A and B are shown apart, each in its own frame.
Chain A
């Protein structure tokens, strides 16, 4: 009764769940659902998740979607998951719920919006939309400011003054990593003002490597293709099928 994880590693919340499983030695079968090929929109996948989004898990007969709910379920159900990921202490746990909830209405709307309306737009057959991207940038900047001034307050290396990562660190950092698709210059422009955020991303990466880097390989490959269209296997005129295979935007 191995855990099944329905995944496309281009999706930020999928990456958070995979890294969590690998880091905690949770055995799972990764079932690829290719968003660029719209496999999440098939009737077969709707049986797994009627909301047609990723990630989703099936554990025996138990189905679950929404990455935060999945991370909490895994932390609560699999032995050997260290307490710092989702502490038993009700005060610490509540603060983790608080930042995960805040994430939905704040940070989550930043990177995806920027990326969908700029670098990924031509590949997806969408018009470039600098206005929407600018909106996304506002969300991102406001959220990064709040992360620095509120969530990273204190002397911890992680959110909420922790010296060990929690599921909240993993979830938020994986979201910010989506900015890699914009290339070094843009990424540095957007993250530049936030030194503590940059350190925290590095801390989270170090705490979960080699899995963090391994799981982000696909994203980095996609970034290379987007930034260097003359690389092998990349597009010729305007959005070749090879890029379409690799890239997507989370729906």
Chain B
């Protein structure tokens, strides 16, 4: 009864789930659902996830979608997952829920809006939309400010003043990494003001390598393909 993960590594929440599995030794079968080829819109995939989005998992007869719900399910169900990923302590756990919820309405819409209206627009047969990109940049900056000033403690490497990463670190960092698609110059421009955020991204990367780099290869490859 191997875990099945329906995935396209181009998707930020997919990467978070796969990195989590890899770091925690959770065995899984990765089933590619190609977003650019609209495979998520097929009737077959709708049987897996009627919302037609990635990631989704199937574990035996149990189906689940929404990456935060998936990360919590995996942390709760597989032995050997260290406590810091999703602590049993109700106070720490609640704070993780708080930042994951905040993420939906704040950070999540930033990188995706930027990227889908610029470099990925042709891939998804959308027009370039510089106004939407500017909106996305505003959303991203506002979210990064909040992470810098509130969610990240001055002296601790991870969110919520923790010394070890949680599923919240993985989810948010994978989202921000999507901005790599727009190139180093824009990445430096957008992330430049936020020193703690940059350090935190590096901390999360180090804590989950080599899997983090392996999973983010797809962004480098796609960027090179699109620029040539």
Contacts and interface: CB of A to CB of B under 8 A. Distances in A.
Contacts of A66: 97-98, 101-102
B101 A69 contact: yes
Interface stretch (A18-26, A91-99, A181-189, A227-235): A91-99
Contacts of B72: 94, 97
B104 A101 contact: yes
Contacts of B149: 50
Interface in A8-46: none
A90 interface: yes
B90 A77 contact: yes
A94 B150 contact: no
Interface string A136-164: 00000000001001100000000000000
B73 interface: yes
A93 B101 CA distance: 16
Nearest to A103: B104
Which label, helix, strand, loop or mixed, suits the secondary structure of the B interface?
helix
A146 B69 CA distance: 18
B51 A146 contact: yes
A64 B94 contact: yes
B98 A65 contact: yes
Contacts of A72: 94, 97
B31 to A, nearest CB: 19
Given A64-B98, A66-B102, A72-B94, A98 B65 contact: yes
The bracket for how many chain B residues form the interface is 20 to 34
Interface residues of A, number: 29
A151 to B, nearest CB: 10
Given A66-B97, A94-B73, A97-B66, A102 B51 contact: yes
B209 interface: no
B50 interface: yes
Given A51-B146, A66-B102, A68-B97, A94 B64 contact: yes
Interface in A66-90: 66-70, 72-73, 76-77, 90
Contacts of A77: 90
A143 to B, nearest CB: 11
A105 interface: yes
B170 to A, nearest CB: 15
A95 B77 CA distance: 14
A104 interface: yes
B91 A101 contact: no
A69 B94 contact: yes
A150 B47 CA distance: 11
A46 to B, nearest CB: 10
B94 A105 contact: no
Contacts of B93: 76
Contact of B105 (A69, A76, A90, A104): A104
Nearest to A74: B94
A146 B46 CA distance: 12
Interface string B83-105: 00000001101110110011011
Contacts of A73: 90, 94, 97
5 contacts: A64-B94, A64-B95, A68-B101, A73-B90, A94-B76
Interface of B: 50-51, 62, 64-70, 72-73, 76-77, 90-91, 93-95, 97-98, 101-102, 104-105, 108, 146, 149-150
Given A97-B69, A149-B50, 15 more contacts: A62-B91, A66-B97, A69-B95, A70-B94, A72-B94, A90-B73, A94-B72, A97-B68, A97-B72, A97-B73, A98-B64, A98-B65, A102-B51, A104-B104, A108-B105
